[in-house]
């Protein structure tokens, strides 16, 4: 009896792990299966890398969405990186305990805000701002990048803060005792020491930005042509899947393309995770 | 060589708790002054006031003066960076940075803007020689400092402090985490540095205080109880509390 009870936790956890593996592999298998008709066509890469998205005429070029994803993510990261790092540095400096606690609590709450709310706010505030400032519709890659930047900042600030906090107090004291100013300690000691964790934080933020769908869809404009600039509307891989999933029924060629897009995203994410692990494994 | 230090009515509070009470004492240039006393008696706080490392703690408040060459280095307008170049510090646990041996010793010099490779090499070698570590690490300066043994790490930290050319060396229980052999080497090193630097040494090891110091100050409950020549403190203490502590009868 007791043997059975002793083994129960192991069995439950093993079953959970197995389920998880089956679901994960099943997901990939389903996507591969769905994408197969397209991959089996002649010159699949040339078709998919083209710049023309015209499903009615059988053209499924994904270049506009690749460009959209990269540009939106890069814009968001360029905006959030310095800002998040600044927030983290302030939090890691001597502060009254109440201020630090209050600030980290606010950031933690902000990380839990659903993305649709950020998108809603983007619709009400960011899109009109871009329209007023740069002309055009306002729905644009820039608006999407701005919304994403705001959305990612709480998470990235907290991750950066944890990375800086991982530097032992003894190192900071040692640096200060040698006559380093707080900024010198930051640049010459804390940032190099925390570098692996900082890079991991950035990769997590990039993954979040690449994967975000709803908030981006609400402000990006949903254009399927190659964007001509930051302020022109566009689409990303994730938003285009959202847009088209109700249009292409399973079995159609368009549905196979959506499966390919999902596969591409998963492979990209996998590479990001591997990169993140590699950096943290560094001494 | 070294520097006279005059401490005048130094008091420190940590978040309302008074850690030092009106401590006044002089440290003579080139001597080794040992600070002894039960845990929590304010020895380390005293040390951290001398190079203003206390300033890094928002909860700490202090009054009083620390005079060096007629200047109150605790005055808010006094240049804290300049002070810390003159007053080096070695900590209780060796804290080499996770860089190479060379980069550790060169850290303080680079802070001051020295980037000339030859000058850096010269000072690094000289500092490592002074810290009696050169013979063990020559030819291995690019290796990570954290690969050194505990005793070597502590001597590396001493070399790092010496590299910026201080006049005073504050040592906060530098052998607390070391084995007897490494402890003996550090004590020997302190003996060699005597005269060239003013050394203030906090220690829980009474024999160490007796072995290496010229004078000894006994602290209890944040106050200076007694200060005098080491031999006298250990043989004929003037205050009954000192005698109680030295004979193991004092409860902290």
pLDDT tens per residue across span B129-163: 999 999 999 999 999 999 999 999 999 999 999 99
Residue A279 has pLDDT above 80, yes or no: no
Cβ burial of A262 (10 Å; 0-12, 13-18, 19+) is buried
Residue A184 has pLDDT above 90, yes or no: yes
Residues of B with CB under 8 A from a CB of A: 51, 53, 56-58, 81-82, 84-85, 88-89, 91, 93, 95, 97-99, 107-108, 110-112, 157, 160-161, 164
Read off the pLDDT of residues A78-130 as tens digits, 9 standing for 90 and up: 999 999 999 999 999 988 889 999 999 999 999 999 999 999 999 999 999 99
Question: Region B175-202: what's the mean pLDDT?
Answer: 93
A65 confidence band (pLDDT: 50, 70, 90) = very high
Q: How far is CA B199 from CA B8, B30, B54, B95, in A?
A: 18, 7, 19, 19
% of chain B residues with pLDDT over 90: 88
Strands (E), chain A: 53-54, 59-60
CA B78 to chain A, closest CA, distance in angstroms equals: 13
B119 confidence band (pLDDT: 50, 70, 90) = very high
Please answer whether residues B15 and B41 qualify as being in contact, where contact means their C-beta atoms are separated by less than 8 angstroms: no
Read off the pLDDT of residues A186-199 as tens digits, 9 standing for 90 and up: 999 999 999 989 99
A193 and B97 in contact by Cβ < 8 A?
yes
Q: C-alpha angle A154/A160/A165, rounded to 5°? A: 125
Question: Region A149-167: what's the mean pLDDT?
Answer: 96
DSSP A41: S
d(CA A168, CA A176): 13
Question: Region B26-54: what's the mean pLDDT?
Answer: 93
| Residue to substitute from A178, A182, A190, interface B, most B β-carbons within 10 A | A178
From the list A171, A181, A188, which residue is nearest B95 (CB)? Answer: A171
Query: What is residue B15's predicted lDDT score, i.e. its pLDDT?
Result: 86
A281 confidence band (pLDDT: 50, 70, 90) = low
Q: CATH number of the domain that B26 lies in?
A: 3.40.50.300
Residue A3 has pLDDT above 70, yes or no: no
Read off the pLDDT of residues B6-37 as tens digits, 9 standing for 90 and up: 999 999 999 889 999 999 999 999 999 999 99
Query: What is residue A36's predicted lDDT score, i.e. its pLDDT?
Result: 87
The tokens for A232 are 């022109």
Query: What is residue A283's predicted lDDT score, i.e. its pLDDT?
Result: 46
Domain total of chain B = 1
Read off the pLDDT of residues A222-274 as tens digits, 9 standing for 90 and up: 999 999 999 999 999 999 999 998 888 888 888 888 999 999 999 988 888 88
- Average pLDDT over chain A reads 90
Structural domain that includes position B60: 5-92+166-246
Residue B249 has pLDDT above 60, yes or no: yes
Residue B3 has pLDDT above 90, yes or no: no
CA A95 to chain B, closest CA, distance in angstroms equals: 7
Residue B193 has pLDDT above 50, yes or no: yes
Q: Look at phi and psi of residue B173 and say left if phi exceeds 0, alpha if psi is from -120 to 50, else beta.
A: left
DSSP B227: E
CATH number of the domain located at residue range(s) A53-281 in this protein: 1.10.3720.10
From the list A174, A176, A184, which residue is nearest B97 (CB)? Answer: A174
Question: Region B112-122: what's the mean pLDDT?
Answer: 92
Nearest CA in chain A to B165: A178
Query: What is residue A1's predicted lDDT score, i.e. its pLDDT?
Result: 53
ipTM of the complex in this document? 0.91
> What is the CB neighbour count within 10 angstroms for residue B171?
28
Question: Region B42-57: what's the mean pLDDT?
Answer: 91
Query: What is residue A59's predicted lDDT score, i.e. its pLDDT?
Result: 84
Read off the pLDDT of residues A8-27 as tens digits, 9 standing for 90 and up: 888 899 999 999 999 999 99
B89 and A96 in contact by Cβ < 8 A?
no
Kindly list the domain boundaries of chain A, sorted by start residue. 2-40, 53-281
CA A180 to chain B, closest CA, distance in angstroms equals: 6
In a domain, B97, yes or no: no
Virtual CA dihedral for B126, A184, A168, B55, nearest 10 degrees?
100
Non-local (6+) Cβ contacts of B67 within 8 A are B5, B6, B7, B8, B73
d(CA A188, CA A192): 7
d(CA A253, CA A41): 11
Cβ burial of B236 (10 Å; 0-12, 13-18, 19+) is exposed
Query: What is residue A282's predicted lDDT score, i.e. its pLDDT?
Result: 54
A178 and B164 in contact by Cβ < 8 A?
yes
Question: Region A165-181: what's the mean pLDDT?
Answer: 94
**Long-range CB contacts (within 8 A, 24+) of A109-115:** A110/A153, A110/A154, A111/A154, A111/A155, A111/A158, A113/A151, A115/A151, A115/A212, A115/A213, A115/A214, A115/A215
When mean pLDDT is compared across A32-46, A52-66, A196-210, the lowest value belongs to A32-46
Indicate if the alpha-carbon torsion angle A123, A128, A134, A135 is positive or negative. Answer: positive
Residue B171 has pLDDT above 90, yes or no: yes
Query: What is residue B251's predicted lDDT score, i.e. its pLDDT?
Result: 61
């Amino acid at each position: 009896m007791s043997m059975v009870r002793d083994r129960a936790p192991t069995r439950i956890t093993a079953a959970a792990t197995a389920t998880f593996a089956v679901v994960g592999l099943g997901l990939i298998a389903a996507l591969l299966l769905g994408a197969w008709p397209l991959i089996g066509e002649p010159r699949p890469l040339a078709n998919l890398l083209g710049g023309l998205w015209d499903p009615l005429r059988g053209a499924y070029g994904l270049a506009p969405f690749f460009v959209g994803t990269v540009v939106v993510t890069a814009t968001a990261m360029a905006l959030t990186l310095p800002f998040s790092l600044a927030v983290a540095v302030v939090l890691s400096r001597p502060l009254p305990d109440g201020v630090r606690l209050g600030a980290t609590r606010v950031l933690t709450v902000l990380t839990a805000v659903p993305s649709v709310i950020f998108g809603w706010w983007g619709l009400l505030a960011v899109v009109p701002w871009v329209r007023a400032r740069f002309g055009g519709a306002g729905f644009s890659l820039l608006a999407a990048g701005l919304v994403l930047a705001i959305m990612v900042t709480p998470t990235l600030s907290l991750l950066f803060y944890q990375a800086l906090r991982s530097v032992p107090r003894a190192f900071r004291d040692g640096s200060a005792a040698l006559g380093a100013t707080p900024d010198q300690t930051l640049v010459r000691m804390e940032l190099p020491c925390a570098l692996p964790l900082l890079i991991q934080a950035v990769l997590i933020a990039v993954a979040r930005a690449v994967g975000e769908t709803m908030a981006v869809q609400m402000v990006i404009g949903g254009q399927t042509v190659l964007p001509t600039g930051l302020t022109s509307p566009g689409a990303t891989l994730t938003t285009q899947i959202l847009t088209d999933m109700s249009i292409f029924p399973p079995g159609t060629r368009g549905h196979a393309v959506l499966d390919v897009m999902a596969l591409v995203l998963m492979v990209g994410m996998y590479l990001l995770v591997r990169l993140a692990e590699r950096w943290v494994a560094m001494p | 060589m070294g520097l006279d230090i005059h401490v005048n009515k130094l008091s420190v509070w940590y978040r309302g708790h008074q850690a030092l009470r009106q401590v006044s004492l002089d440290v003579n240039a080139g001597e080794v002054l040992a600070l002894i006393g039960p845990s929590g008696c304010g020895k380390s706080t005293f040390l951290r006031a001398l190079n203003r490392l206390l300033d890094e703690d928002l909860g700490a408040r202090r009054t009083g003066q620390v005079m060096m060459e007629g200047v109150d280095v605790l005055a808010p307008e006094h240049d804290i960076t300049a002070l810390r170049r003159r007053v080096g510090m070695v900590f209780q646990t060796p804290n080499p940075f996770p860089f190479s041996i060379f980069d550790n010793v060169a850290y303080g010099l680079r802070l001051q803007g020295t980037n000339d490779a030859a000058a850096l090499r010269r000072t690094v070698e000289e500092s490592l020689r002074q810290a009696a570590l050169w013979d063990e690490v020559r030819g291995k300066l690019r290796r990570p400092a954290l690969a050194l043994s505990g005793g070597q790490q502590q001597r590396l930290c001493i070399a790092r402090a010496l590299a910026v050319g201080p006049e005073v060396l504050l040592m906060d229980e530098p052998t607390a985490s070391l084995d007897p052999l490494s402890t003996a080497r550090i004590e020997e090193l302190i003996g060699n540095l005597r005269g060239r630097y003013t050394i203030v040494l906090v220690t829980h090891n009474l024999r160490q205080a007796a072995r290496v110091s010229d004078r000894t100050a006994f602290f209890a409950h944040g106050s200076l109880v007694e200060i005098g020549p080491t031999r006298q403190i250990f043989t004929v203490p003037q205050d009954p509390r000192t005698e109680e502590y030295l004979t193991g009868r004092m409860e902290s």
